[in-house]
């Protein structure tokens, strides 16, 4: 005879779970006890929000649901930000929270909240274990929903008395099954091919679904065969190598960037694996004058600026291969001028020695140090916009940007999860000083589990992105300044290493040394964010090349 908590852990093992990120609590004691005899490693973190962010990045990078655990009440509510980030960024996550006994849930009771209702609006599935016999079904459904296209969050509330209750040994986990991805109807394939053939200047916008569905190679082949330029959303960076002649880089900056010139010219936009939550159609299709082809496993969201000429639902790689086979026209490409302008901007700062260091120079030097397979985790802030524009990602899942929910604080825990999932790759997080301090306590977690990550802090002692918006809108800023600790001493107080870049010429060598140290390292980089408004002015005066 075993108890329900032990059955629950067997069900998690059956789903292939190898790590749970979380914090023990009184109401999940039986789960923690069951984990003692499990193959699952429990990663004890310092804050539940960080646990959810770790599960988020684990799920996004591996395609398998990341799992996080908290106790009831404040432990569960602390999961919400990271959990919501996963749900809106299409990362598969299963969150588990302990709950008070069912004997006290009908009345006012210490730390008891209706957690199922709390998580329901921000998840794909939210349920409570009300009887031990339903655990196999409930766990299987949670993982199936979390990992289905489009992925997201599933939440399980586990009352403490149910977890401790006995369960017959013949109750066992359910078989894990995944459906085959369906093929799109032939009529839709031919319709899309005809629209592309009739286009004068078609443009591809690749979204995160391309990476989730492992369709990057098919995308490159499709673009090459038809000679159509490709732009990528923030969360799709790397699905088309930046160095490829047909790559226009990332789209998503709300200002009229160079990439937007491609949209201005396009008469047909081919949206592949596009998630509207990233980049709203009214920003790239304000006049509703383009033909839109939607290629994805999921149907298109309803939006007045996203009315389809053709929807092709099915396996993305299969759809691209079949459309390319039917399309007979090789297009003009028309990327030379745009690509040249983008490359000039990137290379202009290669030898810039201004201090504090300009964002363009920081990212140029970072790219020289990072290998094509290494992983950059971007926190959220002004630096995110620069990374999205200028970091040259060559491979899928090598530049991770939160852009559906876009929550600050993901950088440090996200880097820890990435390094745990891919220990042979260098992992760097670029974070602002504000975002860093939101989860900086997880430095201790990384050191305890011997997870060597490099944390680059863009230091300006301000909420730089908000200042940028205030100055654009009002011509001044207010209430955005704060003070920072000495980040080098802060790192050393944990037992980590810390470096402050004192002159621009030292940046690249400092970053190389940080990776060579094979421990947790903070690199404090004073940044010149006056470049933000210069970029705004530059884009405001932009005239698209012919």
139-168: pLDDT as tens digits: 999 999 999 989 999 999 999 999 999 998
| Inter-residue contact 414 to 386 (CB < 8 Å) | no
- CA-CA distance, 161 to 173, in Å (whole number)? 21
Q: Considering only the C-alpha atoms of the chain, give the largest distance between any 2 of them, rounded to a whole number of Å.
A: 75
- Give me Rg for the CA atoms of the chain: 24
Choice between 11 and 255, residue whose per-residue pLDDT is larger:
11
In terms of DSSP bridges, do strands 125-128 and 153-159 run parallel, antiparallel, or are they unpaired? Answer: parallel
Residue 455 has pLDDT above 90, yes or no: yes
- 163-167, 199-203, 246-250, range with the lowest pLDDT: 246-250
Domains identified in the chain and CATH numbers: 2-167 (3.40.50.970), 186-333 (3.40.50.1220), 348-535 (3.40.50.970)
How is the beta sheet containing 497-500 ordered, strand by strand?
A: 399-401, 375-378, 427-432, 454-459, 521-526, 497-500
Q: What's the pLDDT score for residue 339?
A: 65
The model's confidence at residue 337, banded by pLDDT at 50, 70 and 90, is: low
Question: Does the pLDDT at position 543 exceed 80?
Answer: no
Looking up tokens 């789903």, which residue turns up? 15
Tell me the whole-structure pTM to 2 decimals. Answer: 0.95
pLDDT of residue 101: 85
Q: Which tens digit of pLDDT belongs to each residue from 277-327? A: 889 999 999 999 999 999 999 999 999 999 999 999 999 999 999 999 999
What pLDDT is recorded for position 106?
A: 85
Q: How confident is the model at residue 247 (pLDDT cuts 50, 70, 90)?
A: very high
Q: How confident is the model at residue 401 (pLDDT cuts 50, 70, 90)?
A: very high
Position 334 pLDDT exceeds 70: no
Share of the chain above pLDDT 90, in %: 81
Q: Give the mean model confidence (pLDDT) for residues 14-32.
A: 97
Question: Residue 389 has what pLDDT?
Answer: 87
pLDDT of res. 24: 96
Task: Give the mean model confidence (pLDDT) for residues 75-83.
Answer: 98
Q: What is the pLDDT of residues 491-536, one digit of tens each?
A: 999 999 999 999 999 999 999 999 999 999 999 999 998 887 776 6
Whether the predicted pLDDT of 257 surpasses 70: no
Beta strands in 434-490 (DSSP E): 454-459
Percent of the chain scored above 70 by pLDDT?
A: 95
H/E stretch holding 195 reads helix 186-198
pLDDT at 542 over 60: no
- Cβ atoms 425, 373 nearer than 8 A: yes
- pLDDT tens track for 85-109: 999 999 999 999 999 988 887 888 8
Q: What is the pLDDT of residue 288?
A: 95
pLDDT above 90 for 336: no
Quick check: 437 and 482 in contact, CB under 8 A? no
Q: pLDDT band at 544, cuts 50/70/90?
A: low
Parallel/antiparallel/unpaired status of strands 2-3 and 166-167? antiparallel
3 state SS of 463: coil
Contact 440, 490 (CB under 8 A): yes
Average pLDDT, the chain: 93
pLDDT value of position 534: 73
Is pLDDT at 204 greater than 60 in this prediction?
yes
**In this structure, what DSSP letter does residue 484 have?**
-
């Amino acid at each position: 005879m075993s108890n329900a908590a032990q059955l629950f852990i067997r069900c998690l093992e059956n789903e292939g779970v190898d790590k749970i990120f979380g914090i023990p609590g009184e109401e999940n004691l039986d789960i923690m006890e069951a984990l003692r005899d499990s193959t699952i490693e429990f990663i004890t973190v310092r804050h539940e929000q960080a646990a959810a962010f770790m599960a988020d990045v684990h799920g996004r990078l591996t395609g398998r649901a990341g799992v996080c655990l908290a106790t009831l009440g404040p432990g569960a509510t602390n999961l919400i930000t990271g959990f919501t980030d996963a749900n809106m960024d299409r990362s598969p996550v299963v969150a588990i929270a302990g709950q008070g006994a069912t004997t006290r849930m009908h009345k006012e009771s210490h730390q008891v909240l209706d957690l199922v209702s709390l998580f329901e609006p921000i998840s794909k599935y939210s349920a409570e274990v009300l009887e031990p016999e339903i655990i196999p079904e409930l766990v299987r459904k949670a993982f199936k929903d979390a990992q289905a296209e489009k992925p997201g969050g599933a939440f399980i509330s586990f009352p403490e008395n149910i977890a401790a209750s006995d369960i017959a040994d013949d109750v066992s986990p359910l078989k894990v099954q995944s459906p085959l991805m369906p093929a799109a109807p032939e009529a839709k394939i031919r319709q899309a091919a005809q629209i592309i053939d009739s286009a004068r200047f078609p443009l591809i916008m690749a979204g995160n679904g391309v990476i989730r569905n492992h369709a990057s190679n098919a995308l490159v082949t499709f673009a090459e065969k038809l000679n159509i330029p490709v732009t990528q959303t923030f969360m799709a960076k790397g699905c088309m190598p930046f160095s490829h002649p047909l790559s226009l880089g990332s789209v998503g900056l709300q200002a009229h960037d160079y990439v937007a010139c491609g949209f201005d010219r396009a008469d047909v936009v081919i949206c592949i694996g596009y998630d509207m939550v990233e980049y709203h159609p009214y920003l790239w299709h304000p006049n509703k004058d383009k033909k839109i082809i939607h290629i994805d496993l999921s149907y298109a969201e309803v939006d007045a600026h996203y009315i389809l000429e053709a929807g092709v639902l099915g396996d993305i790689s299969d759809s691209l291969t079949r459309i390319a086979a039917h399309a007979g026209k090789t297009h003009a490409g028309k990327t030379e001028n745009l690509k040249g302008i983008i490359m000039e901007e990137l290379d202009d700062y290669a030898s810039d020695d201004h201090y504090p260091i300009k964002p363009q120079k920081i990212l140029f030097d970072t790219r020289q140090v990072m290998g094509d397979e290494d992983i950059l985790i971007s926190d959220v802030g002004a630096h995110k916009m620069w990374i999205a524009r200028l970091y040259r990602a060559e491979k899928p899942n090598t530049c991770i940007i939160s852009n559906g929910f876009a929550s600050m604080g993901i950088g440090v825990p996200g880097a820890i999860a990435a390094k745990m999932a891919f220990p042979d790759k260098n992992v760097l997080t670029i974070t602002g000083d504000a975002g860093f301090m939101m989860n900086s306590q997880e430095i201790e977690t990384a050191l305890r589990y011997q997870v060597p990550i490099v944390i680059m802090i863009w230091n300006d002692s301000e909420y730089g992105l908000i200042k940028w918006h205030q100055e654009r809108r009002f011509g001044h800023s207010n209430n955005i300044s704060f003070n920072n600790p000495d980040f080098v001493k802060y790192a050393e107080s944990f037992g980590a290493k810390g470096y402050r870049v004192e002159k621009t010429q030292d940046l690249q060598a400092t970053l190389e040394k940080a990776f060579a140290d094979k421990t947790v390292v903070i690199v404090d980089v004073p940044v010149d964010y006056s470049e933000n408004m210069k970029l705004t002015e530059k884009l405001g005066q932009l005239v698209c090349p012919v």
